[in-house]
Amino acid sequence: MSVLQTWLVQALFIFLITGSIGVLLDPCGRINPESPVVQLGSNFTAVCVLKERCMDYFHVNANFIVWKMGHFTIPKEQYTIINRTAASVTLTDVTSLNIQLTCNILTFGQIEQNVYGITLISGLPPEKPKNLNCIVNEGKKMMCYWDPGRETYLETNFTLKSEWATEKFADCKTKRDTPTSCTVDYSPVYFVNMEVWVEAANALGKVTSDHINFDPVDKVKPNTPRNLSVSNSEELSSILKLTWINSNIKNVIRLKYDIQYRTKGASTWSQIPPEDTASTRSSFTVQDLKPFTEYVFRIRCMKEDGKGFWSDWSEEASGITYEDRPSNTPSFWYKIDPSHSHGHRSVQLMWKTLPPFEANGKILGYEVTLTRWKSRLQNYTVNDTKLTVNLTNDRYIVTLTARNAVGRSDASVLTIPACDFQGYLAESKCYLITVTPVYADGPGSPVSIKAYLKQAPPSKGPTVRTKKVGKNEAVLEWDQLPVDVQNGFIRNYTIFYRTNIGNETAVNVDSSHTEYTLSSLTSDTLYMVRMAAYTDEGGKDGPEFTFTTPKFAQGEIEAIVVPVCLAFLLTTLLGVLFCFNKRDLIKKHIWPNVPDPSKSHIAQWSPHTPPRHNFNPKDQMYSDGNFTDVSVVEIEANDKKSFPEDLKSLELFKKEKVSTEGHSSGIGGSSCMSSSRPSISSSDENESAQNTSSTVQYSTVVHSGYRHQVPSVQVFSRSESTQPLLDSEERPEDLQLVDNVDGGDGILPRQQYFKQNCSQQETSPDISHFERSNQVSSVNEEDFVRLKQQISGIPQSCGSGQMKMFQEVSAADAFGPDTEGQGERFKTAGMEAVLDEGMPKSYLPQTVRQGGYMPQ
């Protein structure tokens, strides 16, 4: 019980304490919002709401509210009194990152008392992360990194999300110290594409980067090739072989390499051409190295196709190329001891050690040979770089070679003059004076100069010759004068050239040249040229040289001849083509087919001659060119046929008809049969040709004569000729067909035919005359039917549709619409068509065909 009382007392105490503290801590008002985060540069409004208790206690209302930012009082203009208890303040363009905003009241009119305070945090929403990329360090987890964009001034969380097409992986959340990268906690699986993106979020927003989709194998950074070693070759002093061990990634992908090398001590690296190391390998031989030189190598690798990352560089490995024989001779000189005894002298020979790039190995020693004039050799092998020998006063030739493990250098030769040697310098002789400085550690670089004691003009002039001669120019060349004849320094050359009749021209040329081009020469001209060389003391002419410029420049003749030949060829070709195309015309005018009367005979002439049923158009076919200027006109007296009145221009035919009929009737009655058929002619070769094998029973043959000569006499004959005398011949079967047509329905084609030209022609009784004036052309049954079909399909009135049909049949282009005088135009047009085409595909044109009947 006592325990319970104790508990109750304690509880009461705590309650009272808490309550009093609560009252004490209870503010007079509050600010809304309490923990605002606003975007930098934006406006912010806070509302302070006073409690009634305080208002009563302090005798204040919202009008007494004073807003402060830190210690700075915000101007009243930014306040808004909402009601008696609430007032707001608006901060415009918030630029401070952290603002302490307090709501205060002026108690008793002047005492400022704090009511409530908030901290305003400002910042920026996250920018979209950019440049997201991932790297898979071989044997490690994949790490992705990105550019987070601008500073947000707020705590911003970045989450890396990744997934396969079939499953999602756990998010990778960045650590606070590395907000721009994240290493996933799963092992990368190669050859499966994955999609990765980053999500950035803070209090002001959330944004997602672009998604990237890749195969992790394309993001691999392989482990560095290890155990790089270098070995040389005794056979070749210019190569070193590198070997290394590839990382295990080579079991999964193919690799390429980057190998760099440098000589030891050098700072810059040279690179092996990438194309030489573009495939998986574990060794490589580097070539073109200097002998006996230490090289340092390093290597790195990456996926063969260049996707991914280069590995780190391997540790450097060095190796020395094998020795080669010394590539140069040692610098070599001598010193004669002045205190020589009689007849002998002490000579010290000295030389420099070869630099490593010339020694090409370790110099094992030097070999010195001394040769006195016409004496035997004395050989010395020396390890040092000097040798002292006792020599006579004679002249000696000394040679020196350096030797290494591979071989000897070339010999360096030095002449030790005889003791009594005195220099004698001749004039006009070129001397090479060489001065070699001798330092404490050996000789320096010698300097040489050419000099003359005294110069003289050359003893011989240069010999000039032509190198190339053109139409207007010539290239001259010459050799430098030998030193022996120069007698001085050649300062310049002068070239003199002239024609036979012209003045001589001189051209100065610098002594360094050995060639000069003379320009502006005249073509086809003989030139004489000579050359002089000058020293400081004068000149000397060389021999004269002549050359002739050609008349034509190179290629000029070809440029003329070739086009002419081509033009001639073209003309000939065109001529041949023209003759080929116009062979019929030519044949007609030059060697026309003249019927051979000897092959003609009078066929048995009887109306009862059995018709020949030869409907094979192939048998009747003949070439139109075989049959020239022969026209057959069949005239019939069939007054039943209508005649187109508007074809009055064909009245001529009518007049001719009288005489023709007279002749025909005088020969045989079958002419009536022959002439009674509708005269449907066609220039179709098949149709014309079919008559050649038919026998003419009765016809009127009119020769137009040779070359348009009008025959004076018309010949009527009854012929069995199989010669192509006639343009068309009748056949009994055709006649029968025609008769049928003529007597009944067969008239329709003709009538329709004229309807096609003009409907008025139907009433003309002279249509038969017109038709008779057409060249007789027999058609086989098939052709006839075809024609009939074509014609019967034509409407009765003139129009464009009719024109179209005509185009199928004949030269209907010439046919105009139904107008008076159409016949005139028609005939003219038909004539033109004939002239143009020779054998028009028309009924009508044959009536006005060249060499036809009408001109008579």
Partner 1 sequence: MKVLAAGVVPLLLVLHWKHGAGSPLPITPGNGTCATRHPCHSNLMNQIRNQLAQLNGSANALFILYYTAQGEPFPNNLDKLCGPNVTDFPPFHANGTEKAKLVELYRVIAYLGASLGNITRDQKLLNPSALSLHSKLNATADVLRGLLSNVLCRLCSKYHVAHVDVAYGPDTSGKDVFQKKKLGCQLLGKYKQVIAVVAQAF
Residue 165 as a binder of partner 1 (CB under 8 A): the answer is: yes
Q: Report strand pairing: 226-232 vs 240-245.
A: antiparallel
Nearer to partner 1, 169 or 313 (CB): 169
Query: Considering only 33-41, 180-188, 417-425, 606-614, which stretch makes contact with partner 1 by CB under 8 A?
Result: 180-188
CB atoms within 10 A of CB 20: 10
DSSP assignments along 253-286, one per residue: S-EEEEEEEEETT--SPEE--GGGG-S--SEEEE
The CA distance from 539 to 485, in Å, is 12
Residue 168 as a binder of partner 1 (CB under 8 A): the answer is: yes
The least distance separating partner 1 from the CB of residue 268, rounded to whole angstroms, comes to 40
Q: What is the pattern of x (binds partner 1, CB under 8 A) and - over residues 654-683?
A: ------------------------------
Alpha helices, DSSP H, located in 153-229? none
| 663 DSSP 8-state letter | H
Residue 186 as a binder of partner 1 (CB under 8 A): the answer is: yes
**199 has which bridge partners?**
159, 208
Contact (Cβ atoms closer than 8 angstroms) between residue 169 and residue 193: no
The CA distance from 656 to 710, in Å, is 15
Q: Which of 108, 164, 431, 568 binds partner 1 (CB under 8 A)?
A: 164
Residue 251 as a binder of partner 1 (CB under 8 A): the answer is: yes
Of residues 215-234, those binding partner 1 (CB under 8 A): 215, 217
The least distance separating partner 1 from the CB of residue 218, rounded to whole angstroms, comes to 11
The least distance separating partner 1 from the CB of residue 141, rounded to whole angstroms, comes to 10
The least distance separating partner 1 from the CB of residue 143, rounded to whole angstroms, comes to 15
Q: Which of 153, 190, 622, 706 binds partner 1 (CB under 8 A)?
A: 190
The least distance separating partner 1 from the CB of residue 216, rounded to whole angstroms, comes to 9
Nearer to partner 1, 280 or 472 (CB): 280
The CA distance from 302 to 283, in Å, is 15
The CA distance from 846 to 853, in Å, is 9
Of 343, 246, 253, 346, the residue nearest 299 (C-alpha): 246
The residues, ordered by sequence, that sit 6+ positions from 847 with a Cβ below 8 Å of its Cβ are 650, 653, 770, 773, 774, 775, 827, 830, 853, 854
Residue 254 as a binder of partner 1 (CB under 8 A): the answer is: no
Nearer to partner 1, 73 or 193 (CB): 193
- Dihedral pair phi/psi, residue 507, rounded to 5°: -130, 130
The least distance separating partner 1 from the CB of residue 251, rounded to whole angstroms, comes to 5
Query: Considering only 72-80, 110-118, 190-198, 331-339, which stretch makes contact with partner 1 by CB under 8 A?
Result: 190-198
The least distance separating partner 1 from the CB of residue 138, rounded to whole angstroms, comes to 12
Residue 191 as a binder of partner 1 (CB under 8 A): the answer is: yes
Q: Which of 42, 73, 193, 390 binds partner 1 (CB under 8 A)?
A: 193
Our CA angle for 222, 226, 228, nearest 5°, is: 130
The CA distance from 85 to 116, in Å, is 14
The CA distance from 55 to 67, in Å, is 17
The CA distance from 280 to 246, in Å, is 9
Nearer to partner 1, 136 or 758 (CB): 136
The CA distance from 350 to 206, in Å, is 85
Our CA angle for 807, 804, 819, nearest 5°, is: 95
Phi-psi region of 569 (alpha: psi -120 to 50; beta: other; left: phi over 0): alpha
The CA distance from 522 to 85, in Å, is 118
Q: Which of 2, 83, 166, 445 binds partner 1 (CB under 8 A)?
A: 166
Contacts with partner 1: how many residues (CB under 8 A)? 23
Residue 187 as a binder of partner 1 (CB under 8 A): the answer is: yes
Q: Which of 56, 93, 167, 384 binds partner 1 (CB under 8 A)?
A: 167
Residue 252 as a binder of partner 1 (CB under 8 A): the answer is: yes
Nearer to partner 1, 95 or 279 (CB): 279
Element (H, E) at 798: none
Nearer to partner 1, 253 or 416 (CB): 253
The CA distance from 230 to 242, in Å, is 5
Q: Which of 211, 335, 454, 612 binds partner 1 (CB under 8 A)?
A: 211
Tokens of 527: 């030139």
Residue 185 as a binder of partner 1 (CB under 8 A): the answer is: yes
**38 has which bridge partners?**
122
CB atoms within 10 A of CB 328: 15
Nearer to partner 1, 211 or 226 (CB): 211
Query: Considering only 162-170, 411-419, 657-665, 826-834, which stretch makes contact with partner 1 by CB under 8 A?
Result: 162-170
Q: Angle 781-792/747-757 helices, nearest 10 degrees?
A: 50
Element (H, E) at 356: helix 356-359
Query: Considering only 208-216, 352-360, 604-612, 804-812, which stretch makes contact with partner 1 by CB under 8 A?
Result: 208-216
Tokens of 34: 């309490």
The least distance separating partner 1 from the CB of residue 196, rounded to whole angstroms, comes to 11
Query: Considering only 164-172, 527-535, 669-677, 694-702, which stretch makes contact with partner 1 by CB under 8 A?
Result: 164-172
Query: Considering only 50-58, 87-95, 168-176, 398-406, which stretch makes contact with partner 1 by CB under 8 A?
Result: 168-176
The least distance separating partner 1 from the CB of residue 214, rounded to whole angstroms, comes to 9
Q: Which of 170, 526, 570, 579 binds partner 1 (CB under 8 A)?
A: 170
Residue 163 as a binder of partner 1 (CB under 8 A): the answer is: yes
Q: What is the pattern of x (binds partner 1, CB under 8 A) and - over residues 106-145?
A: ----------------------------------------
The CA distance from 545 to 151, in Å, is 89
The least distance separating partner 1 from the CB of residue 303, rounded to whole angstroms, comes to 12
Nearer to partner 1, 215 or 294 (CB): 215
Query: Considering only 185-193, 226-234, 605-613, 625-633, which stretch makes contact with partner 1 by CB under 8 A?
Result: 185-193
Residue 213 as a binder of partner 1 (CB under 8 A): the answer is: yes
Residue 195 as a binder of partner 1 (CB under 8 A): the answer is: yes
The residues, ordered by sequence, that sit 6+ positions from 162 with a Cβ below 8 Å of its Cβ are 144, 168, 169, 172, 184, 194, 195, 196
The least distance separating partner 1 from the CB of residue 184, rounded to whole angstroms, comes to 8
The CA distance from 7 to 59, in Å, is 42
Residue 245 as a binder of partner 1 (CB under 8 A): the answer is: no
Contact (Cβ atoms closer than 8 angstroms) between residue 507 and residue 516: yes
The least distance separating partner 1 from the CB of residue 307, rounded to whole angstroms, comes to 13
The CA distance from 520 to 472, in Å, is 5
The CA distance from 224 to 753, in Å, is 100
What distance lies between CA 136 and its chain's CA centroid? 39
Contact (Cβ atoms closer than 8 angstroms) between residue 811 and residue 841: yes
Nearer to partner 1, 192 or 557 (CB): 192
Nearer to partner 1, 246 or 412 (CB): 246
Nearer to partner 1, 195 or 312 (CB): 195
Of residues 606-645, those binding partner 1 (CB under 8 A): none
Nearer to partner 1, 12 or 170 (CB): 170
Residue 388 as a binder of partner 1 (CB under 8 A): the answer is: no
Nearer to partner 1, 192 or 526 (CB): 192
The CA distance from 696 to 654, in Å, is 24
Element (H, E) at 114: strand 111-123
The CA distance from 544 to 548, in Å, is 14
Nearer to partner 1, 249 or 481 (CB): 249
Residue 192 as a binder of partner 1 (CB under 8 A): the answer is: yes
Q: Where along the sequence are the contacts to partner 1 (CB under 8 A)?
A: 163-170, 185-187, 189-193, 195, 211, 213, 215, 217, 251-252
